[in-house]
Amino acid sequence: MNSSSMSPFARIMLLWLYRILYGIALIFVLPILLWKRIFRGKKEHIKRRLFPKIRYPVPGAGPLVWAHAVSVGEVYAMAPVIKGLLRSKPMFRVVVSTITQTGHEAAKKAIPEAEAHVFLPFDFLFSIRRALHLGTPSLVIFSEGDIWPLFAHEVKARGAVVAVVNGKISDRTTARFRKFRLFGRWLYSFVDLFCVQDQTFYERFLELGVPQEALHVTGNTKADVTFPLLTELEKAAFRSSLGVRTGDRLIVMGSTHSPEEEELLIRLMPLLRIYSDVKIALVPRHPERFLEVFHAAQQKSDSVALLSTYDGVLPWNIIVIDKLGMLTKLYQLSTIAIVCGSFTDRVGGHNILEPASVGVPVLVGPYMHSQQTLFQSATAAHAICQVSYDDVAHTIEHFLTNEQARRQAADQAFHWAQTLRGATDRTVHILVEAIEKK
């Protein structure tokens, strides 16, 4: 277990300081969350996170595992870990918590084995204790680097092992913690085990004061995510429902953020006019932006459809996907995939393994710092194309007009995705061993 050099007194004093600052910060943040809920339709679940309505404990007699994943990407990375734990120890009971509405919906679909799907309580003691009416966890798992200190402190006090899976830490966070080393040591002292994605992250955590015995390089569990592959008949039916005709070539713009939709459409509209068989499926990352993106697309083209109201008959050259859970199916129909969030510095990219694993050419923008390990690995394997706004159209046209180049890019992406598998088994072994030693 994590034997941080920080004294118990310093740890508790910093925890009290954190509680005060967290409370002050929430006072300022709550109006912003309310504004987003009222004026942008974003479901923030403030009441459910402040006052969790949990009256009954999770049924069963086995150890309780509480797995937390912030949103969609973390949910899909957590799913194989939970499934692996349940294969290893079928008596485990599982609670999955998320923060976002899209993450909550994804968790119910990706981890149906969980006994409960809840929203993580705000990091207030009374909220945490209400949420823990579900039961006392034997194991709490945080994803990547999303650690909630008071929640971790409370469950550790009740005897839980606290672990981080798919662990990573960005250059920016590392630089901040180098300046404020005490805070970094304090935050990581609440975690017993770190299962990190690669040696680079291992070295960073080690530098920031995490004991060597708490660190394990296990890989990226996103590489082990499985999803149903469509049969040829299912693909044909799906194409028909979307109005994609035989011979049409589909460009999927996945997990888009503002202003990516507008900027990319400006560059790609000339291609749609040149190649009448090329279509674009536009998949916004956040549901509250569905209509905003639809109206923006209408400003660029007079042939735009909205999936929820589409009759399957009228032709279109752009369709906005306003339903959740469609992206992996769309990638299976695509000719080319553009993984967005990578054209804006404030996001830094999304999961490139999804399109790579179904064998399509993968394009990303200049900013991939949120997916640094995957990006570096894919780049080394020539499994990805990084483009700017200015050269995205040229790269896509190259793949549209050169079938050999397109197939080679697709094959390299698929092969790279297959070589990364195995992180889940390594992670599960370490987690099970930690519970058994407790």
The larger pLDDT score, comparing residue 118 to residue 31, is at 118
369 is a domain residue: yes
Asked if 360 and 432 sit in the same domain, the reply is no
Please report, for the domain that includes residue 402, its CATH number.
Answer: 3.40.50.2000
Asked if 314 and 428 sit in the same domain, the reply is no
Asked if 207 and 246 sit in the same domain, the reply is no
Average pLDDT estimate for 34-57: 79
User: Do residues 68 and 140 lie in contact, with contact meaning Cβ atoms separated by under 8 Å?
Assistant: yes
The domain tally of the chain equals: 2
Asked if 88 and 153 sit in the same domain, the reply is yes
329 is a domain residue: yes
Please tell me the predicted confidence (pLDDT) of residue 59. Answer: 85
The larger pLDDT score, comparing residue 184 to residue 312, is at 184
Asked if 105 and 248 sit in the same domain, the reply is no
Asked if 94 and 196 sit in the same domain, the reply is yes
227 is a domain residue: no
Lowest mean pLDDT among 60-64, 205-209, 337-341: 60-64
User: Do residues 172 and 112 lie in contact, with contact meaning Cβ atoms separated by under 8 Å?
Assistant: no
Confidence of residue 53 (pLDDT cuts 50, 70, 90): confident
Confidence of residue 5 (pLDDT cuts 50, 70, 90): low
Asked if the model's pLDDT at residue 365 lies above 60, the reply is yes
Other beta carbons within 10 Å of 213: 10
Asked if the model's pLDDT at residue 3 lies above 70, the reply is no
Asked if 303 and 390 sit in the same domain, the reply is yes
Please tell me the predicted confidence (pLDDT) of residue 32. Answer: 84
Average pLDDT estimate for 208-233: 92
226 is a domain residue: no
2 is a domain residue: no
Please report, for the domain that includes residue 85, its CATH number.
Answer: 3.40.50.11720
The Cα–Cα gap between 306 and 371 comes to 30
Confidence of residue 60 (pLDDT cuts 50, 70, 90): confident
The Cα–Cα gap between 388 and 365 comes to 6
pTM above threshold 0.85: no
Asked if 271 and 165 sit in the same domain, the reply is no
Average pLDDT estimate for 170-187: 91
Q: Classify residue 80 by burial, with Cβ atoms within 10 Å: 0-12, 13-18, 19+.
A: buried
Asked if the model's pLDDT at residue 56 lies above 90, the reply is no
Asked if 135 and 174 sit in the same domain, the reply is yes
Query: Which residues face 364 on adjacent strands?
Result: 339, 386
Asked if 24 and 83 sit in the same domain, the reply is yes
Asked if 81 and 167 sit in the same domain, the reply is yes
The domain containing residue 333 runs over which residues? Answer: 232-419
Asked if 371 and 433 sit in the same domain, the reply is no
Confidence of residue 395 (pLDDT cuts 50, 70, 90): very high
Please tell me the predicted confidence (pLDDT) of residue 380. Answer: 95
User: Do residues 189 and 2 lie in contact, with contact meaning Cβ atoms separated by under 8 Å?
Assistant: yes
Average pLDDT estimate for 15-39: 88
Average pLDDT estimate for 87-116: 94
CB proximity list for 343: less than 8 A, separation 6 or greater: 260, 263, 264, 365, 366, 367, 389
Please tell me the predicted confidence (pLDDT) of residue 354. Answer: 93
User: Do residues 145 and 168 lie in contact, with contact meaning Cβ atoms separated by under 8 Å?
Assistant: yes
Confidence of residue 4 (pLDDT cuts 50, 70, 90): low
Please tell me the predicted confidence (pLDDT) of residue 397. Answer: 98
Mean pLDDT of the chain: 93
3 is a domain residue: no
194 is a domain residue: yes
268 is a domain residue: yes
